[in-house]
Structure 1
Amino acid sequence: MEQYGKDQNNRGNPSISNKAEAAPSLGRQMLNKVPEITIYFWIIKILATTVGETAADLLNEKLNLGLTNTTLVMGGLLLITLFFQFRSLKYVPRIYWLAVVLISVVGTLGSDNLVDNLGVPLKTTTIIFSLLLLATFAAWYMSEKTLSIHSIHTTKREAFYWLAILFTFALGTSAGDLIAEGINLGYWKSALMFAALIAAVTIAYYFFKLNAVLAFWIAYILTRPFGASLGDFLSQPRHAGGLGLGTVGTSAIFLITILCLVFYLTKTRIDDPDQSR
């Protein structure tokens, strides 16, 4: 899965993946703001997804903030982080991955607010977030003639990118909960199911020439319910089908792992998109 989204592979539909540099774009020019798609990218993304699930539960339930207050706090932190992310002219691992962790939490809370506070059925929220994501992709492509993450070098493209990321997390939350409740597989079986779907996308990409950009975004969406199922399996009590580590323990383990990996990437710069050219 290391090469998902690379324009230079020339796979699939060239009108989607290979016109990143051809189309004019309004906005400040900068270096590419998204890291190279290496194994580290997917590991941190899944860890961030798991933290998004467990941290939302921790703040909402354990600290008794409630969904509304938790959403306001995490939304504020996300806006501050995105302010610095947009101000940066290049990829900075600590800022980028902090934004991903926070947007994972906010995306989860977006789905939870609709379901728990407003009583919107999971089937409806899944449809809503699917349409919002498709609308974002459509507007992005009509404006920029590419959905590749390897061409995020203007403010306009970066805005489309983060909006799409937000909706992938919200969609993954709603769809994952819908499947978990509808099929009632349990946490570890759900995690295995989503892992199998990710593996199927990987096989389709490497052996059947599935378009690189399409493969990336499908995998990105699927890692959300996979990470959430993994987080629930680790954090929930044993009588509920989990390992009983709790939301505090699970969040701490995954956050420490993310910090270590981001420190490593900052030092080595092996995922810096401009160093790899």
Structure 2
Amino acid sequence: MNTDLEKALSKVPEVTLGFWIIKILATTLGETGGDAVSMSMGFGYLAGTAIFAIIFLTVVWVQIKATHFSPFTYWTTIIATTTIGTTLADFADRSLGIGYPGGSLLLLTLLLLSLFIWHRALGTISVQSITTYKAEIFYWVTIMFSQTLGTALGDWTADTAGLGYTAAAGIFSGLLAIIVLIYFKTNISRTALFWTAFILTRPLGAVVGDFLDKPIDHGGLELSRYTASILLLIAIIVCTFVFKQRAGKAH
């Protein structure tokens, strides 16, 4: 495959600072948006998951069928993975009765299994190799599992561990800072660091989202989930214009 064709088929963005800022905003929106449907609208976790599953499958299909990189399509798909991740994690943790530890372990197993099968099938899990339909399918399945795991980890840390939303956000921010330091100071696999950071941004978004909409007496700001979701969506749209994005370099 020649370089020009690879660039045309690469439909994921270059990993830059702007990428991570939008990713954190998107994961926070996933928390407030998911909770708005399952809790505020009263659909519940199972029905909420079904609703977001339909949206997720639809936008993934559009993303995979696209012939070039589109920031709007890509980030819409990311948001879809975060919202279904929120309701699916809540369903596994609460409705199935396995709790945050059980849910986190189950989702971690599914995530690692997805990465393992992806690597065995294609020989790499690098985001720079997302230039085929098969690679894209593995990519989005893995992201969906990572978003769901991140939700469970965020809720587990903030609620069950009793750290609260701001302390939990500080912990995950600190872990991300360590990943950044490792990136610049070592030669550890960039692919491994990417997926580690990608997973950690989700629990950060989960606890920040909860901080925005949970009651004041529970350590939150008690914003309306609808208001918080709209503000986050606006922020994402603005950032997609401020941080000019292009397709990642394929190899």
Shorter-normalised TM-score: what interval?
over 0.9
RMSD between aligned residues: 2.0
CA pair 84-264 structure 1, distance change in 2 beyond 3 A: farther
Structure 2 unmatched ranges of 5 or more: none
Task: Please give the alpha-carbon distance, in whole angstroms, between the structure 2 residues aligned to 1:186 and 1:54.
Answer: 17
Partners of 1:51 and 1:251 within 8 A in 2: yes
- 2:24 counterpart of 1:46: yes
Query: Over residues 162-186 of structure 1, what are the superposed CA-to-partner deviations in whole Å (9 max), with x where a residue is unaligned?
Result: 0110110111111222222342111
Q: Do residues 138 (structure 1) and 116 (structure 2) align?
A: yes
Q: Does 1:271 align with 2:246?
A: yes
Q: What's the secondary structure of 1:74's corresponding residue?
A: helix
Q: Which residue of 1 aligns with 2:181?
A: 203
- Superposition deviation, residue 44 in structure 1: 1.0
Which residue matches 2:230? Answer: 252
Cα shift at 1:97? 0.5
Partner of 2:144: 166
Kept after mapping to 2: 8 A contact 1:122/1:175 = yes
Q: CA deviation at 1:126?
A: 1.0
Structure 1 residues not aligned, in runs of 5+: 1-20, 22-27
Q: Is the 8 A contact 1:37 1:271 kept in 2?
A: no
1:122 aligns with 2:100: yes
**Identical-pair percentage:** 35
Return the alpha-carbon distance in structure 2 between the equivalents of residues 81 and 110 of structure 1.
18
1:221 alignment partner in structure 2: 199
Query: How many Å separate the matches in 2 of 1:219 and 1:158?
Result: 19
2: CA distance, partners of 1:157 / 1:75: 20
In the other structure, the counterpart of 2:240 is 262
Query: How far apart are residue 251 of structure 1 and its match?
Result: 0.8
Q: Matches of 2:94 and 2:155 in 1, distance apart?
A: 12
Work out whether residues 107 and 170 of structure 1, in 8 Å CA contact, stay in contact via their aligned partners in 2: yes
Residues in 1 aligned to 2:86 and 2:39: alpha-carbon distance in whole angstroms: 14
8 A contact 2:45–2:88 mirrored in 1: no
**Partner Cα distance (1:175, 1:62) in 2:** 22
- The separation in 1 between residues aligned to 2:177 and 2:163, in whole angstroms, is 19
Aligned to 1:62: 40
Taking structure 2 as the reference length, the TM-score comes to 0.92
What is the SS of the residue equivalent to 1:90?
coil
Deviations 1:36-80 (A, max 9, x none): 001111111101100111111111121112222211211111111
Q: State the Cα deviation string for residues 182-222 of structure 1 (Å, max 9, x = none).
A: 42111111101100000011111111222111111000111
Find the residue that maps to 2:222 and give its secondary structure.
Answer: coil
The answer on whether the counterparts of 2:103 and 2:152 sit within 8 Å (CA) in structure 1 is yes
In 2, Cα distance between equivalents of 1:30 and 1:79: 23
The CA distance in 1 between the partners of 2:190 and 2:215, in whole Å, is 39
Query: Which amino acid in 1 is paired with 2:190?
Result: A
2: CA distance, partners of 1:110 / 1:72:
9
- Structure number with the higher helix fraction is 2
Shift in Å, 1:264:
4.7
